[in-house]
């Protein structure tokens, strides 16, 4: 009767994916920090910049942040002058969250960082392999039913 290998997990897709994903999220948060933006704030800006306006409720669903906690997140972004609240015209209970020019500007600056981050993550791979990795990950994401929302938490601190 053979003992099971207690370190078998190290070769599993689940483990490496979790590990590399957490590292990637941490790297992203690190790059954002000098701009004074949290991953979650970036997520909010991305969603309201990409076209249709969003209510707090919609944003909380898209980001996987509880709507109770979305309040203080939007409060903070409003204080920093990145977004503004506008009473919904059809539904006067809700707030539309809209980006300010400053919010649009900081979003553009964050987006500029991403190609560099991607290059660092795939530094050990050939161009062909980098592309293959991106395609395979997209396929896995699609298979898992993951939408391009940032939910669940992209923000993972190190240490």
Q: Which of residues 65-104 bind DNA (CB under 7 A)?
A: 65-72, 74-75, 85, 91-95
3-state SS, residue 132: helix
Q: Could you say which residues in the range 38-77 bind its own copies, by CB under 8 A? A: 42, 45-46, 49-50, 64, 66
The answer to the question of residue 37 lying near DNA (CB under 7 A) is no
Cβ burial of 37 (10 Å; 0-12, 13-18, 19+) is buried
Q: Which does 84 bind (CB under 5 to 8 A by kind): its own copies, DNA, none?
A: none
Binds its own copies (CB under 8 A): choice among 2, 5, 68, 72: 5
DSSP string, 33-82: GGGT--HHHHHHHHHHHSSS-EEHHHHHHHHT--HHHHHHHHHHHHHTTS
Q: Could you say which residues in the range 103-142 bind its own copies, by CB under 8 A? A: 104, 107-108, 111-112, 114-115, 117-118, 121-125, 129-130, 132-134, 136-142
Q: What are phi and psi of 147, to 5 degrees?
A: -90, 165
The answer to the question of residue 89 lying near its own copies (CB under 8 A) is no
């Amino acid at each position: 009767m053979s003992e099971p290998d207690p370190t078998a997990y190290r070769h599993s897709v689940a483990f490496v994916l979790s590990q590399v994903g957490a590292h990637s999220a941490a790297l992203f948060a690190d790059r954002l920090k000098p701009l004074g933006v949290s991953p979650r704030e970036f997520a909010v800006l991305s969603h309201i910049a990409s076209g249709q306006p969003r209510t707090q409720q919609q944003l909380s669903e898209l980001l996987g942040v509880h709507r109770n906690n979305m309040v203080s997140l939007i409060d903070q972004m409003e204080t920093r002058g990145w977004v503004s609240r506008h009473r919904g015209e059809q539904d006067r209970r809700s707030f539309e969250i809209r980006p300010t020019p400053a919010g649009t500007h900081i979003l553009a600056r964050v987006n500029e960082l991403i190609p560099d981050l991607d290059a660092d993550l795939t530094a050990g791979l050939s161009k062909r392999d980098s592309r293959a990795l991106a395609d395979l990950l997209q396929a896995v994401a699609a298979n898992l039913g993951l939408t391009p929302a940032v939910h669940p938490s992209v923000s993972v601190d190190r240490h």
